[in-house]
């Protein structure tokens, strides 16, 4: 299989170039490791009871190997990767013969402890919380993720997945997508256990979820990286442990800031590379994740991200690999095809592993001829293995010998491979850096004849960070008055001048309203946003703002109302000075009337 899969298609949107904002003032941010005192405290939660592991020797649902049970999916994956498509596909969804489901019914639960209930096994903690667990086996799978569908669970629900005897990985309703699905963390091996703990007193009859599909990874991680084992077709993939600061002075920080990740889109699993980057105020500790637009281009894909940090070989001779899971899920902040850039923010800052470095960047374009460096996670053709940190080096060529159609030198860095090194599928989105480790772009791919990522007669193409910077500046270089940052809980209205947040309460629980999405697009415009409370597909209330800064009004207006009888409270914050208006809460069991505040905020 040729690495033409990393080639650049000709559609790259030159027409979008005009949509980029005007250049901002030059700025450079150094890499930093957070002060431990600034790290967010993690809420202590008991681990899973491992009820399915303890009570069932057999998987509660099984699938045969992909080579016999999903041969067409394997063929489609191979064709995708061989056909100059991006990003690298490494797995796909497998449908269960009989869906597993949990529907909350405390009357039924009371007499079924220790027994099978709707495809799982039921238990109860001493604190009264109900616990339901199940397991799925997919023969010969390299790793598995579960897709929960029709998710309708009470606030405070805890979920875990784990392998037999393995460490559990937690996830929660913050990873719920607009279509009512959520993807579990990745578990290595051919059997995955799921456990769900429902908070005592919060179980509402009829709530629950179903499991119709498991996502199977058919590509392995790590393995021997000894250069003598790499065939000629993979000869340009260089083990990063064979290089040091003499080759790449910034390699120490780079090793601690880049990550490999898996994500899902339309039922397929993909792999890319990315970087944890800092902003110009280390005290804010925002977990910014930089990668390529062709990897993460929607909120749905961002929420499915499962990152892996410090993924390295034991040494230059290869051997066992090591690594640490990082953030699970992210909120898409800004993305653009014009420079193939995406900036996302991890759902939970506490998921950033201890010792990770927030890498530095510059809004200044490097000079022609600058030698650039990269650590990434390519996929090796020999055995379809996602490799640990691999090193490549390139030289910027601002006047390339041949043009890549639709890819301008203004928006992309064109460079030439050096020292026999190169890139491959899985390297997509990886940062390209100056010698000091400062990021200047992120990988789109390559073009040439043939564009396999290894040749010296092709262009390596990275979206220029300097060109992307005006899009990223509101988040990476916030002004003294702060900047509104869109995430699952926050809408930013009137060109980001105002931040809108909503809290909700019921008789038994409370939480924060989430910005709705339709078709993976946020239900948010310059002037309005819709929020959901319990179900991502169920609208609860909306907020609208109007810029009425003209005579005779000279005010910003706020309107909101809802289609709910639950309690909710709206908070609107002016970002220029932090002034906030918190409106009286709608009482529980009250059908709200429309609030129309035409004196909400003064104009500048």
What is the reported pLDDT for 199?
83
Q: 359: which DSSP letter?
A: B
Q: 7: which DSSP letter?
A: B
Contact present, 272 and 292 (Cβ < 8 Å)? yes
Three-class SS of residue 67?
A: helix
More confident residue, 122 or 280: 122
Query: Does the pLDDT of residue 5 top 60, yes or no?
Result: no
Lowest average pLDDT, out of 191-205, 324-338, 526-540, goes to 191-205
Contact present, 102 and 112 (Cβ < 8 Å)? no
User: Taking the CB of residue 555, how many other CB atoms lie within 10 A of it?
Assistant: 18
Query: Does the pLDDT of residue 163 top 90, yes or no?
Result: yes
Query: Does the pLDDT of residue 429 top 70, yes or no?
Result: yes
pTM summary value: 0.81
Spatial CB neighbours of 126, under 8 Å, sequence gap ≥ 6: none
Query: Does the pLDDT of residue 6 top 60, yes or no?
Result: no
CATH 2.40.10.120 for domain 3-30+220-470, yes or no, is yes
Contact present, 527 and 559 (Cβ < 8 Å)? no
Say how many CA atoms lie within 13 Å of 86 toward its Cβ.
Answer: 32
Rounded distance between C-alpha atoms, residue 285 and residue 382, angstroms: 40
In this prediction, residue 7 has a pLDDT band, given cuts at 50, 70 and 90, of: low
In this prediction, residue 584 has a pLDDT band, given cuts at 50, 70 and 90, of: confident
Phi then psi for 465, rounded to 5 degrees? -60, -35
What is the reported pLDDT for 222?
63
What is the reported pLDDT for 230?
38
More confident residue, 460 or 34: 460
Question: Given phi > 0 = left and psi -120 to 50 = alpha, else beta, which region is 599?
Answer: alpha
Rounded distance between C-alpha atoms, residue 116 and residue 40, angstroms: 39
Question: Given the structure tokens 């014009």, which residue do they identify?
Answer: 338
What is the reported pLDDT for 224?
39
Query: Does the pLDDT of residue 203 top 60, yes or no?
Result: no
The mean per-residue pLDDT over the stretch 534-544 comes to: 92
Residues of the chain with pLDDT > 90, as a percent, come to 62
The mean per-residue pLDDT over the stretch 309-330 comes to: 93
Domain boundaries for CATH 2.40.10.120 within the chain: 3-30+220-470
pLDDT in tens, 73-108: 999 999 999 887 889 999 999 999 988 988 888 888
The mean per-residue pLDDT over the stretch 192-220 comes to: 87
In this prediction, residue 514 has a pLDDT band, given cuts at 50, 70 and 90, of: very high
Query: Does the pLDDT of residue 566 top 80, yes or no?
Result: yes
The mean per-residue pLDDT over the stretch 328-355 comes to: 94
What is the reported pLDDT for 271?
97
Query: Does the pLDDT of residue 229 top 90, yes or no?
Result: no
Rounded distance between C-alpha atoms, residue 128 and residue 451, angstroms: 60
Question: Given the structure tokens 């003209």, which residue do they identify?
Answer: 550
Rounded distance between C-alpha atoms, residue 499 and residue 303, angstroms: 22
Q: Which among 430, 87, 463, 90 has a CA at the least distance from the CA of 273?
A: 430
What is the reported pLDDT for 17?
37
Domain boundaries for CATH 2.60.120 within the chain: 51-217
CATH 2.60.120 for domain 51-217, yes or no, is yes
More confident residue, 207 or 202: 207
Q: Which among 412, 405, 366, 392 has a CA at the least distance from the CA of 455?
A: 392
The mean per-residue pLDDT over the stretch 41-54 comes to: 83
The mean per-residue pLDDT over the stretch 25-34 comes to: 85
What is the reported pLDDT for 451?
67
More confident residue, 262 or 58: 262
What is the reported pLDDT for 481?
53
Three-class SS of residue 106?
A: helix
Lowest average pLDDT, out of 99-108, 244-253, 389-398, 429-438, goes to 99-108
The mean per-residue pLDDT over the stretch 426-454 comes to: 91
């Amino acid at each position: 299989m040729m690495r033409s899969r990393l080639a650049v298609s000709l559609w790259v949107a030159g027409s979008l170039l005009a949509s980029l904002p005007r250049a901002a003032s030059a700025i450079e941010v150094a890499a930093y490791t957070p002060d431990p005192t600034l790290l967010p405290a993690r809420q202590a939660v008991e681990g899973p009871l491992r009820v399915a592991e303890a009570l069932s020797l057999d998987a509660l649902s099984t699938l045969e190997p992909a080579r016999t049970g999903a041969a067409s999916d394997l063929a489609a994956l191979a064709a995708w990767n061989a056909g100059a498509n991006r990003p690298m596909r490494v797995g796909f969804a497998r449908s269960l013969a009989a869906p597993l489901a949990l529907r909350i019914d405390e009357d039924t639960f009371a007499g079924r402890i220790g027994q099978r209930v709707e495809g799982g096994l039921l238990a109860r903690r001493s604190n009264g919380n109900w616990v339901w667990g199940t397991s799925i086996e997919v023969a010969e799978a390299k790793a598995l993720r579960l897709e929960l569908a029709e998710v309708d669970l009470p606030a405070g629900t805890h979920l875990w997945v784990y392998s037999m005897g393995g460490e559990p990985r937690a996830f929660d309703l913050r990873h719920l997508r607009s279509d009512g699905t959520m993807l579990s963390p990745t578990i290595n091996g051919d059997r995955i256990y799921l456990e769900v703990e429902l908070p005592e007193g919060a179980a509402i009859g009829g709530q629950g979820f179903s499991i119709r599909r498991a996502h199977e990874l058919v590509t392995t991680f790590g393995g021997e990286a000894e250069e003598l084992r790499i065939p000629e077709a993979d000869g340009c993939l260089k083990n990063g442990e064979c290089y040091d600061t003499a080759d790449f002075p910034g390699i120490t920080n780079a090793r601690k800031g880049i990550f490999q990740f898996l994500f899902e889109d339309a039922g397929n699993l993909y792999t890319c590379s990315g970087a944890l980057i800092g902003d110009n105020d280390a005290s804010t500790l925002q977990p910014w994740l930089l990668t390529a637009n062709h990897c993460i281009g929607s909120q749905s894909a961002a929420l499915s991200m499962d990152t892996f940090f410090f993924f390295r070989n034991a040494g230059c001779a290869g051997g066992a690999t090591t690594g640490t899971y990082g953030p699970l899920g992210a909120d898409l902040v800004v993305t653009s095809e014009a420079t193939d850039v995406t900036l996302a923010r991890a759902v939970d800052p506490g998921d950033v592993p201890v010792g990770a470095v927030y890498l530095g960047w510059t809004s200044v374009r490097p000079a022609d001829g600058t030698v650039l460096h990269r650590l990434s996670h390519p996929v090796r053709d020999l055995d379809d293995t996602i490799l640990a940190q691999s090193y490549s080096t390139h030289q910027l060529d601002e006047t390339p010998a041949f043009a890549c159609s639709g890819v301008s030198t203004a928006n992309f860095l064109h460079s030439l491979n050096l020292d026999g090194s190169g890139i491959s599928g899985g390297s997509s989105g990886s940062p390209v850096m100056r010698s000091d480790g400062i990021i200047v772009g992120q990988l789109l791919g390559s073009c040439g004849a043939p564009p396999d990522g290894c040749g010296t007669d092709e262009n390596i193409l990275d979206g220029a960070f300097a060109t992307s910077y005006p899009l990223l500046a509101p988040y990476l270089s916030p002004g003294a008055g702060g900047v509104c940052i869109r995430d699952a809980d926050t809408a930013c209205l009137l060109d980001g001048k105002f931040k809108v947040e909503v809290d909700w309460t019921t008789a038994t629980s409370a939480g924060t309203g989430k910005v709705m999405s339709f078709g993976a697009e946020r239900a948010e415009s310059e002037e309005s946003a819709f929020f959901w409370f319990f179900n991502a597909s169920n609208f609860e209330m909306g907020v609208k703002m109007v810029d009425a800064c003209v005579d005779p009004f000279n005010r910003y207006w706020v309107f909101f109302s809802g289609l709910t009888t639950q309690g909710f409270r709206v908070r609107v914050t002016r970002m220029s000075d932090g002034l906030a208006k918190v409106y009286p809460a709608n009482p529980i069991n009250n059908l709200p009337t429309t609030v129309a505040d035409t004196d909400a905020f003064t104009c500048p």
